[in-house]
Structure 1
Amino acid sequence: MPASAQPSTPTQPAFNRALHYGAGLLLCLSASALYGHRIDMRPLWWDEGFSIYVARLAPLELLRTLAADVHPPAYFLLLSGWVKLTGAAPFSVRSLSLLTSVVTVALLYAAGRRINGHAGAVITAALSIVSPYVLYYARETRMYSLGILLTAASLYAFLRLTARPAASRWWWLLYVGGSALGLSTHYAFAILPAAQIATIVALRRAALRQWLLAGGAAAILFAPWLIFARSQLLSLQSARLGGASQLQIGWPALGAIQPLITGYIPGSLPTVPVATALFIAIVLTGVVALQNRQRILAVVLGLCICGALALILLVRYTPGEAVARGTRLGFTALPGLCLLAATGLQRLLRLERWVGMAALVALSATLLPATLAPFSQPADVNEDYRPLVQQVQLLANPDDAVLAPYVWQQGYFASYAPGPLKFYGGAETPDSGPASAAAILAAHQRLWVLNYRADVHAPEVPLNVWLNHNAALVFEHWFGNTQLALFVRAEPAPDHWPAQALLEQNISVEYSPPPASIRPGAVLYLNLRWRTDGRVDGFDRVFVHLGIADAPPAAQSDHELADGFTPISKWPLQHAAIDRHALLLPANLTPGQYLLMAGVYDSQTNVRAQVLAPSGCASTTTVASAA
């Protein structure tokens, strides 16, 4: 082969670039695998449900909703477009946070390389990947992963611009755009540009004009939202943020720092205190090392971390609310913590390799259990709406309505089971509940009610009283902290009651015969009218059973008289009591003739009141084929 045809040997710079990009790509793929592993394992929680609900609103309604809430709109607008592309399933909505977190890893890899070379890039990216805090928000449908990404982007642009003041205008555009988007993602992002401007004032005053212009441009881009939501911002500041005199220090400060390093661990891992102390020591080592080489960067990272911690500690927490709950506001500290920790580890490796290796091994051994803990954490069954949604899917009709007092409940349904059900918001005040329910049942035959930590039988709630008088309870079941109840619109009581039975203790019941035929899966409605002229002893509940003699009931409705609002213990009755019952027939009920029986019984002994007349009182109905 001629010499001219010999392949040329790759140059060292080309090889280094390939190694650089290959390592970065491998780290990003590793982050994707870790963040995406069983990403839909954990059930959605309130804030995620709210995010999904808002993202499905029309743009103008979305902005109006957020103007009355505590967050600016950038993330929700992005999520709205993402939902249109991918759907609202848990994996789909959480994958947006996964994507932004992977891009954060890439940005921190690039920033680490400019500060500490190739080894520093790998360490910085690896620390961000295994950070329990980053992992938590990479798997949650909230704006904090986007906030971390925009913080990293702004810091990287700041790094390029301070290293080379005559840098390309594209870096200025990245800085201005990233800052404006960051402010439009979360108000806590303001800590970062404030720290950057303060650093320029202290160390680069000659370049202050450029930075003020850039900051002003970002503020102008953010200003329309400030004007739109100004009243909400003022009330938020007065309601949630205290003054400097209320700044919490000591153990509360440690409680704010620890989740930034080890995440939100539900139980106490013995390695958490060690990992926290070791990480802080390494970060402080990084501050000292960076101060000697790139003082301006060390100062801005330090100010950003301190500002984030101060914000967490300035929040007014309600009684019983842990300071760690506010750690989400410290997302601007994460990129700085990773960069400083990587710098500290490299400093230790250069001073004494064995010391650096020991620190790296110790940090990995104590931090990784916190990183892996969420994958083995059992789901909170009390807050898991998946079984509840499945139950509604099984029993609901397409024209049913759902009364969801909280919008996050609507977000859950939109994610777990999007469908034709019509959702209505809950009453803002107890007195407006009956009016809302009346309007809903005027348009729908059946109403599902989602009671979070509330009971439909509570007589002190006006909505419950109204439902008792105007609807019949078909189904109720507790799913953790939420009671699911199905009501059907009440049918008017007849003017004349064609059938009557007399029970012991002079109890009489009047009723209308059931329909001659009904299909499986339908609701069998029955009005009863009870009378008595004396005190009733030993019986406290009413039953209505549909079944075959000497066999368990195929469908039943057992509860206190008038659903507990007129208990038998309060008899004798001055007037006849209307008692509404609705039986939900199983969808697989075998066709045939069934007995419909009603009476009263003692819930302690299951002894029923004896029927005196007519003998063997019961009505019959035929369950027809579902076809």
Structure 2
Amino acid sequence: MLHGTYLHLPSIPHLPFIILFPVKKVSTGQPVAGRHEMANTTGKIRFSQEAPATSGKPKTSPVPLWILPVAAAILLRAWNLQDQSIWYDDYNCAGYLGCDRFRDYMVIIRHQNPEAVPLYYIFVYLWAQVFGASGMVARWFSVLLHGVAAWVLFRAGSRLAGRSAGLVASLWFACSPWQVWHGQSVRPYPLVALLSALLLWMMIHAVHTGSRRAGWAAVLTVLVLPWVHLTSLVVLPPLMLGLVWVLWRGGRIPVRDMLLIIPLAAAVWIPLVYWILHLPIVSAGAYSMYHPPDAVRSLFALLAPDAPQRMGEVVAGFPESWDPFLPVLVFLRDALEWILAAIGLIALTATGYRMFRMVNHFGEGNSAPAWSGLAFVWLIAVLPPVVLVLLSYAWRPCFMPRYLMASAPALYLLMAAGVAGVGRRFPAGGALLALVPLIVSVPALRGWYTDPSHRRGYYGTAMAQVARWAQPGDVILLNNDEQMGLFHFYRPAGLPGLLLSRDDTHTVERALAAVDRLAGYRRVWLVTYGRPESFDPQHNAERALTMRGYAGLANSYSGFYVNFYVLGAPPARPARPLDVRFGDRIRLLGYDLQVEVTPSGGVVRVPLYWQAEAPPTTDYTVFLHLRDPEGKTVAQLDGWPVGATPATSSWQPDEVIVDARVLLLPRELAPGAYNVYVGLYTWQDMARLPLTRGGEGNEFLLGQVTVP
């Protein structure tokens, strides 16, 4: 393979293309750089690579090319690192780093996550002992791991297909929003990425040069890798397949080495059975979040140059002023996902064709083709996602994009090799292909850094909001014990926290009994965290609280939501009767307005009394707005009617529905008179029901409340 000559010509306008895709140097009868010898008289598998023929001292860039991807990897992961909240998986690792004894730390880790193999936790604990036991310090460990991984990928790509391929692969890894997301976590995946890249580098080096040292480094890396995270096991089948292919085509099996490697691998890997048996897919079935259709969609996204964790984040990265163009942007986003996937598929097809063409030459004279290392890279990039997708359909759903972290470096190398090959023939086209995923990453990273809705963990944000609105005497109710660590980490000062057990929410009656035990508390903040189907599939805690009081603020965060309730049953009959009809089926029979102002803002309790004249055919959303004299909404609550029968399509004629709502008043709300409006609309198109009796327009003025 021609590496070419790198020119140092800073005055040339097309210098970026020259740096990415070097110009070929015409051979003058000397061996060409990267061409492998076809003669081998030793009778053993031997690969050699000659140094490029140059006259005099070769010219080198004054700044090593690997500086760029390494700096990008570190800076992009360090950016806004302090703004990312600790979340559940992070806390399982970082929250206990302050343990005095390592044994205690590992006992906690095993209790919190039984399938977590220990090697990463050993490393991060040692890191914390040297630099400090805070979550921020632990995250810097991940940041630096990714910096080293970018350098290793550069070296692996350079060995595989030249420095242009190494630069492209490492830059894609450094700027990938998906990798940035994992690089800011306290989880094993950054170490998985580093060791996977190191494995590929050593394998490519060993196959191309016959270096025993590199071969044994690859063996040791693959032995260690599953002890970092069990998902690394996905690289073992393609690795073994590639090894069998090399040995078969080479015609000679190194029996002495195999007799040493096999018992060593058995001794290292057999203890992993304990952790494998604790995997959810083995021990208790797969989580409901592992859907096979997600596997197929994610497979296409990963075949592309790794776009964001979800391609939807590209659109979210655009400013709000672009909202009128949202349909067009969504179309372009979907088209872009397929374009990126097409680039990945073309790279896989082209490099696969190239690899299998070289198979016929392998073994002639016991020598290796120029792209022999491509076989391992291709297999490790392609087979793991295919295997996981097939398992998801044929056995149990077991796919999440992060489970391909061990094969992701191979994907970068594979496509970078293809892009570099294009660049040698068409420098401008190759540079454009290399820049596409980097350009796509810009809006996604912008959204990740600037849009709060894309932050990884919001437990700290949620607890800060609760602390801002809460009053003395409030209570925080937790729906499961999975969040106890996070709650203690971010717990608002002075607010008690109570835990609902699974037995408490098994039925509505038990949930009502649990709520009745909250005597002495007037206001409740319910934190529903994790997977409700595992703890409260019928949402009985929410139903019981709405049946015993007024439902208010309902904020959704990434992975959980917080609901606010004021306890106290509303009156059975409206204090202010009405005869108002929305549309041709729903009547508002009456309401009440009860204002409670406190230094922290206060509340307005508004029980609404609905009745269906005929069964509604649609589920409507009720809006309740508090507006100042200028018509600006200062507080609102939109959602389905609360109570035992929230869906309007389930209402029966003549049944009275008590919809008890409470508005939280902002702390900074100025004294004065405010109007309260109510209405209904369909969520899909935001179309409001018109008033057909008792008023005009599409909303009804309930009255005024005065804030002293």
Query: What TM-score, normalized to structure 2?
Result: 0.56
Secondary structure of 2:502's counterpart equals coil
Match of 1:524 in 2: none
Is residue 2:408 matched to residue 1:339? no
Shift in CA distance, 119/604, structure 1 to aligned 2, threshold 3 Å: closer
Matches within 5 A, 1:64-143: 64-67=111-114, 72-75=117-120, 94-140=139-185, 142-143=187-188
1:107, distance to aligned residue in structure 2 (A): 0.9
Larger Rg: 1
Secondary structure of 1:262's counterpart equals coil
Distance in 1 between residues matched to 2:177 and 2:601, nearest whole Å: 51
Alignment check: 8 A CA contact 1:66 1:72 kept: no
Matches within 5 A, 1:333-372: 333-350=407-424, 352=425, 355=426, 357-372=427-442
Distance in 1 between residues matched to 2:339 and 2:576, nearest whole Å: 67
Is residue 2:348 matched to residue 1:273? no
Match of 2:676 in 1: none
Name stretches of at least 5 consecutive residues in structure 1 with no aligned partner: 1-11, 491-526, 568-579, 591-601, 609-622
Structure 1 counterpart of 2:264, one-letter code = A
1:535, distance to aligned residue in structure 2 (A): 12
Shift in CA distance, 98/249, structure 1 to aligned 2, threshold 3 Å: closer
1:255, distance to aligned residue in structure 2 (A): 2.7
Residue in structure 1 matching 2:65, options 2, 20, 23: 23
Alignment check: 8 A CA contact 1:100 1:149 kept: yes
Q: Deviations over 1:224-282 (max 9, x none)?
A: 342255254663696479xxxx9999986963544554343104434443343334434
Shift in CA distance, 415/88, structure 1 to aligned 2, threshold 3 Å: farther
Residue in structure 1 matching 2:230, options 163, 169, 187: 187
Distance in 2 between residues matched to 1:282 and 1:581, nearest whole Å: 57
Secondary structure of 1:403's counterpart equals strand
Alignment check: 8 A CA contact 1:123 1:342 kept: yes
Match of 1:311 in 2: 387
1:149, distance to aligned residue in structure 2 (A): 1.6
Query: What TM-score, normalized to structure 1?
Result: 0.62
Alignment check: 8 A CA contact 1:52 1:88 kept: no
Match of 1:502 in 2: none
Shift in CA distance, 326/161, structure 1 to aligned 2, threshold 3 Å: same
Shift in CA distance, 588/218, structure 1 to aligned 2, threshold 3 Å: same
Matches within 5 A, 1:211-360: 213-214=260-261, 216-228=263-275, 230-232=277-279, 235=282, 239=286, 255=300, 257-259=302-304, 261-263=306-308, 264-266=310-312, 267=330, 268-269=332-333, 270-287=335-352, 291=358, 293-294=369-370, 296-316=372-392, 326-350=400-424, 352=425, 355=426, 357-360=427-430
Secondary structure of 1:480's counterpart equals strand
Q: Deviations over 1:467-516 (max 9, x none)?
A: 589x877x84122366534679x9xxxxxxxxxxxxxxxxxxxxxxxxxx
Shift in CA distance, 447/556, structure 1 to aligned 2, threshold 3 Å: closer
Shift in CA distance, 344/100, structure 1 to aligned 2, threshold 3 Å: same
Match of 1:172 in 2: 216
Match of 2:245 in 1: 202
The alignment-based identity, stated in percent, is 17
Is residue 2:219 matched to residue 1:146? no
1:152, distance to aligned residue in structure 2 (A): 1.0
Distance in 2 between residues matched to 1:113 and 1:554, nearest whole Å: 62
Distance in 1 between residues matched to 2:188 and 2:476, nearest whole Å: 28
Is residue 2:108 matched to residue 1:61? yes
Distance in 1 between residues matched to 2:68 and 2:435, nearest whole Å: 22
1:336, distance to aligned residue in structure 2 (A): 1.8
Structure 2 counterpart of 1:392, one-letter code = V
Residue in structure 2 matching 1:390, options 464, 468, 481: 464
Distance in 1 between residues matched to 2:403 and 2:600, nearest whole Å: 55
Distance in 1 between residues matched to 2:256 and 2:473, nearest whole Å: 63
Residue in structure 1 matching 2:553, options 477, 483, 489: 477
Secondary structure of 2:506's counterpart equals helix
1:105, distance to aligned residue in structure 2 (A): 0.7
Secondary structure of 2:605's counterpart equals strand
1:28, distance to aligned residue in structure 2 (A): 1.0
Shift in CA distance, 66/213, structure 1 to aligned 2, threshold 3 Å: farther
Name stretches of at least 5 consecutive residues in structure 2 with no aligned partner: 1-53, 97-104, 313-329, 359-367, 579-588, 610-641, 647-659, 671-693
Return 219-228 or 96-105, whichever deviates more: 219-228
Distance in 2 between residues matched to 1:436 and 1:295, nearest whole Å: 70
Q: Deviations over 1:285-314 (max 9, x none)?
A: 445666473555222222212222213422
1:283, distance to aligned residue in structure 2 (A): 4.8
1:360, distance to aligned residue in structure 2 (A): 1.9
1:363, distance to aligned residue in structure 2 (A): 0.6
Distance in 2 between residues matched to 1:588 and 1:252, nearest whole Å: 46
Distance in 2 between residues matched to 1:14 and 1:400, nearest whole Å: 79
Shift in CA distance, 367/587, structure 1 to aligned 2, threshold 3 Å: closer
Is residue 2:500 matched to residue 1:449? no
Residue in structure 2 matching 1:404, options 478, 486, 489: 478
Distance in 1 between residues matched to 2:167 and 2:75, nearest whole Å: 17
Match of 2:88 in 1: 49
1:63, distance to aligned residue in structure 2 (A): 0.9
Shift in CA distance, 173/428, structure 1 to aligned 2, threshold 3 Å: farther
Aligned length: 510
Shift in CA distance, 420/232, structure 1 to aligned 2, threshold 3 Å: farther
Q: Deviations over 1:508-565 (max 9, x none)?
A: xxxxxxxxxxxxxxxxxxx899899x999557556554569xxx99744525499968
